[in-house]
Structure 1
């Protein structure tokens, strides 16, 4: 049997982008399992949620957005630090770049390594990589909650920290007046999870409980289609929780009996592939997911930094 191509390095197919208007002045761009982005209009400004992997990629999104509004971008909100979400921020020419306190610390600690790692794993997402001017640094951070008044009768946009999950510093953007939630990678709709920097047990329990407690009626996850209606929102949260719980159960069982990382990967793959194997980036992510969970079970609280060398070592051990 031929070895699997490394991560998403062989994924060169262009994904169809879909721009949805979720309500007056609320936009989401999805792309068949590529990272989702969004925007919310204030009275005389825009808040953009996520920045994509390069300024060139971000400018393509902005061109679509400009078909609906010419308001200037005042805020760019980074849900977390991963390169495919943040390195395009310079294209927005925003007054303020917002992230969680932990996200800023993670950029300082591992931003350069993460950039190199993700570029190697997912080169297609990095359109014109030379357009990236360097690491993206937030200019405003917070620890719990930050409210952006949108002006007029538009209500507020609430940025909230729900707890450790996909990373140590994920935040969501919540429009309570519209009941619309931009959940970042804390929730995926019909897309497999990347958990290589995660806190699995927190995420699967208290963090998702907090997300669910908002009772959103529309949810834009990190990847996959927009969830419309409470039933679809609940299903997306439940799918995310089920993926995490299955991994925790399967990997935990192997760890408890003194098995190996390779055995844990095999058990998790067998338990998940029937439901999630057809979804975007499943095969790409799972070796890194299981390795991070194995580290947690071994008592390593904070994720080990991913480097290009470590990426290939794990891939060759578990997936090739």
Structure 2
């Protein structure tokens, strides 16, 4: 059976308004109405950029905006995880060092090509000038637990931390302890639905988000959605993320416990989430893939099955038809 709904985000052709926010002296975030967020942090004589967008052409558009504020060269490009729409624009930054968690490098090797094909088919609008991508993005510096970048002068440090498995098994965050600003990647979303197709839901909803909350951020840039400013807004974004995960865990677990089907688990999850989350960006796009991965996880499949363009369509047609 073929789905009657347009596949994933293939019908989302509207250009999103980009908003540059200056969070502190030399700390920038670019948000775009639920499209992937990016950021930058000024060192004394260099830049650290956070996330790379989907293509070099899209990344150059972001850099043109950033260059209105600073002409410092990009020394470090930090990638929060391996997903194509976050990393394949890396060549535009001409960075000296590309930083990621060690698990992210392994995931690029294991499934980077398949993820590239999958994500560009799911979100074609983000793949601006897709033929400008020169190939997979490979980190040149990786770490296991923490990496500290001295920003120079009186700018303090940027701490890159691994807080546990979550959105993927290689997510990192960028933490500015002096300014109490957190670049959380897709471990936290602010009024945007979660993509969990490569996730470890139970770890994410418990210890990993506990570790995010324990930092005590006063401003948080999530993977999508508006910047969260103030402790109440930060706590709300973390709580929304945890709530989405816990509802899915509850609903999918209940269907499995009574011997139900994947389709029934999707329908139960959709019904339980739609009132609170259904109006948020990419909810309908994400949920079939989210439930499919969680079904596998609760069935004992430890690591996510690799998504391919063909598998994407099969799951979509099965659950969104």
Q: TM-score, normalised by structure 1?
A: 0.99
SS at match of 1:270: helix
Residue of structure 2 equivalent to 1:235 = 236
Residue of structure 2 equivalent to 1:30 = 31
Q: Distance in 1 between matches of 2:133 and 2:310?
A: 22
Counterparts of 1:138-177 in structure 2, within 5 Å, are 138-177=139-178
Q: Distance in 1 between matches of 2:276 and 2:303?
A: 29
Q: Distance in 2 between matches of 1:152 and 1:144?
A: 25
Residue of structure 2 equivalent to 1:6 = 7
Shift in Å, 1:194: 0.1
Residue of structure 1 equivalent to 2:61 = 60
Residue of structure 1 equivalent to 2:75 = 74
Shift in Å, 1:33: 0.2
Residue of structure 2 equivalent to 1:304 = 305
CA deviations on 1:12-42 (whole Å, 9 max, x unpaired) are 0000000000000000000000000000000
CA deviations on 1:154-208 (whole Å, 9 max, x unpaired) are 0000000000000000000000000000000000000000000000000000000
RMSD: 0.9
Residue of structure 1 equivalent to 2:114 = 113
SS at match of 1:12: coil
Residue of structure 2 equivalent to 1:318 = 319
Q: Distance in 2 between matches of 1:32 and 1:22?
A: 18
CA deviations on 1:69-92 (whole Å, 9 max, x unpaired) are 000000000000000000000000
CA deviations on 1:260-303 (whole Å, 9 max, x unpaired) are 00000000000000000000000000000000000001100000
Q: Distance in 2 between matches of 1:3 and 1:89?
A: 36
Q: Distance in 2 between matches of 1:146 and 1:120?
A: 34
Shift in Å, 1:64: 0.2
Shift in Å, 1:228: 0.3
Residue of structure 2 equivalent to 1:46 = 47
Shift in Å, 1:5: 0.1
Residue of structure 2 equivalent to 1:222 = 223
* Structure 1 gap ranges (5+): none
The aligned length equals: 320
Shift in Å, 1:226: 0.1
Shift in Å, 1:136: 0.1
Q: Distance in 2 between matches of 1:166 and 1:10?
A: 25
Shift in Å, 1:50: 0.2
Shift in Å, 1:4: 0.5
* Structure 2 gap ranges (5+): none
Q: TM-score, normalised by structure 2?
A: 0.99
SS at match of 1:146: strand
**Runs of 4+ residues over 3 Å off in structure 1:** none
Residue of structure 1 equivalent to 2:264 = 263
Q: Distance in 2 between matches of 1:232 and 1:199?
A: 25
